[in-house]
Copies of this chain bind each other. A is one copy, B any other.
């Protein structure tokens, strides 16, 4: 474990909010999407986070029947939208700070 990979781990969670904002997703889709960006996360981390973010009001969950399969689709809420902008503002600060160097 090094600082970069540790930093990426934190970014994964932020990305859950990021993606929810673009379009509703379900667990497996998100996991694969994150993997495409070299973000590995295990089910045992992902699903508890989805539940936590739903319970905290950042995400809304809706079960949908897709070709006979039940999928839980997660979408952004107003609180989640608000939180995204906090993340974005923080990321801007961080970026500027690092760019000075």
Tell me if A11 counts as interface (CB < 8 A to partner B): yes
Cβ of A4 and Cβ of B98 under 8 Å apart? no
Which of chain A's residues 1-50 have a Cβ closer than 8 Å to chain B? 1-4, 6-11, 13-14, 16-18, 21-22
Tell me if A101 counts as interface (CB < 8 A to partner B): yes
**Most B C-beta atoms less than 10 A away, residue of A2, A14, A83, A99:** A2
Tell me if A91 counts as interface (CB < 8 A to partner B): yes
Q: Is the interface on chain A under 10, 10 to 19, 20 to 34, or 35 or more residues?
A: 35 or more
Cβ of B22 and Cβ of A14 under 8 Å apart? no
Residues from chain B with a CB closer than 8 A to the CB of A3 are 13-14, 16-17, 53, 58, 83, 87
Pairs of residues from A and B, 6 with the lowest C-beta to C-beta distance, nearest first: A10-B10, A7-B10, A95-B95, A6-B13, A7-B14, A3-B14
A101 to chain B, nearest CB (A): 7
